[in-house]
Homo-oligomer: A and B are copies of this chain.
Amino acid sequence: MNSLYVIKIGGNIIDDPAELESFLKDFSQLEGYKILVHGGGKIATKLAKDLGIESELIEGRRVTDAESLKVVAMVYAGLINKNIVASLQSNNCNAIGLAGADGNIIQAVKRPLKTIADGRQIDYGFVGDLDDSSVDSEAIHKLLNAGFVPVFSAITHDGQGQLLNTNADTIASVIAVSMSGYYQTSLVYCFEKNGVLRDVDDETSIIKSIDPVKYKELKEDGVIHSGMIPKLDNAFEAISKGLNEVCIGRADALPELKQKTFGTRLKSKE
């Protein structure tokens, strides 16, 4: 079985042109099969503001109305995606930029109304949720086999002609799980820290490797807490569904992936 890396980058890298350029160079040099998933960053927020489109936040989650959807489709699937692809091509990486509608590769379901704490029913608008059957892994396999490096923006569709805004972390995870039937697949989350840290203020305190037993201990000891718990819960769920490993670390440490010294590695067994 060949190995495959599914690498996700977020807004903090996209918003820094020099860091993005450097990351894309490293990504280009990574040998073997690979897929890039990118989030949005502040460009969409700024464009919405310049156009006078106000985006509503409910319990920290953004509501995507029709006008906001146009903005994210333009910025994520157009501006950011095509600039990333052009940059990868200039680094001899045969990138092909995709949204979920392309080749019907990621079909989502529009998020149903949700009841929040105060009893209100909330419509998050044009937001797409994914499940294990959302990704057409055969289509991705065909593209990889044809020599392309897929680069996904976080725009999906519902199969009925409607584009949907979807969380990039989730896209990366669902793609990685779906590809694990074809490849020994690693999911890599690039974020602003060196990895999962023993001490959040000490970037040298990286926990090199975590399996489910150790994860349970680290939670009980209070070492892993708050925002990291849903992230790691998701990661271990993906591993339980057949993913080889999940790596979490800084984008500029990507060259260390092959040396297995990149950030924190989550595996089913240490």
Contact = CB atoms under 8 A, between A and B. Distances in A.
Contact of A79 (B50, B73, B96, B97): B73
A103 interface: yes
Quickly give the copy total for this chain. Answer: 2
B103 A163 contact: no
A107 to B, nearest CB: 8
Contacts of A87: 161
Instruction: Give the contact-size bracket for chain A.
Output: 35 or more
Give the residue among A50, A77, A95, A143 with the most B Cβ atoms within 10 A. A77
B89 A161 contact: yes
Interface stretch (A5-13, A152-160, A210-218, A247-255): A152-160
A104 B87 CA distance: 11
A146 interface: yes
Contact of A102 (B51, B96, B157): B96
B98 A96 contact: yes
Contact of A162 (B77, B86, B97, B101): B86
Contact of A85 (B85, B89, B95, B99): B99
18 contacts: A73-B83, A74-B75, A74-B78, A75-B78, A76-B78, A77-B77, A78-B82, A82-B155, A82-B163, A85-B102, A86-B157, A86-B162, A87-B161, A90-B160, A94-B104, A95-B102, A95-B103, A96-B103
Interface of A: 47, 50-51, 70, 73-79, 81-83, 85-87, 89-90, 94-99, 101-104, 142-143, 146, 148, 155, 157, 159-163
